[in-house]
Amino acid sequence: MEVLDWLLTTTNGNPLALIELPASLTPRQLAGREPLDGALASPTSVEQVYLERLERLPSQARGVLLVAACEEAGERATVARAAAELGLDPGALSVPRRRAWLGSDVIASSSATR
């Protein structure tokens, strides 16, 4: 199966998945020299990519990201206060930002509120 065909089939045209899933392939798979069948479980492939990224983060960063996900308005100050109340370091988000884990829109909005 060609890489492009596999990506389109696996992602069902989901734009985020089209961006994220190629990063999970090996260089040989991207070059078409290694099979793609079964490379990712299609119903949860995007979720699996994010889960693997989360698992590589330090526990403090995972905790602050969980707090941020619960804060509906996206208020950085509220996330920082809640994280501190839970014994988490709000600065732990610098790890995923340094690793380009968070999208540029998230980084821009958090930098603007500093």
- Residue-wise pLDDT for 17-35, tens only, equals 777 777 777 888 888 888 8
62 φ, ψ to 5°? -60, -40
Same domain, 49 and 64: no
Same domain, 42 and 79: no
Write the CA distances from 26 to 2, 13, 36, 62, 97, integer angstroms.
14, 21, 10, 26, 23
Helices 45-56 and 3-11, packing angle to 10 deg: 90
Same domain, 43 and 65: no
Q: How many secondary structure helices (H) and strands (E) does the chain include?
A: 8, 0
What's the sign of the alpha-carbon dihedral 19, 25, 31, 34?
negative
**pLDDT band at residue 112 using 50, 70 and 90 as cut-offs:** very low
Q: Is pTM beyond 0.85 here? A: no
4, with CB counted inside 10 A (0-12, 13-18, 19+), is exposed
Which residues span the domain enclosing 98? 58-112
Question: Would you state the pLDDT for residue 37?
Answer: 66
Question: Would you state the pLDDT for residue 35?
Answer: 80
Same domain, 80 and 99: yes
Same domain, 48 and 86: no
Question: Would you state the pLDDT for residue 95?
Answer: 66
Position 40 pLDDT exceeds 50: yes
74 φ, ψ to 5°? 75, 25
Same domain, 62 and 101: yes
Which residue do the tokens 């492939």 mark? Answer: 45
pLDDT tens figures, 55-98: 888 899 899 989 998 988 888 899 999 999 999 998 887 765 55
Q: Give the total number of structural domains in the chain.
A: 2
Among 55, 82, 98, the domain-final residue is 55
Same domain, 62 and 49: no
Same domain, 20 and 48: yes
Same domain, 63 and 48: no
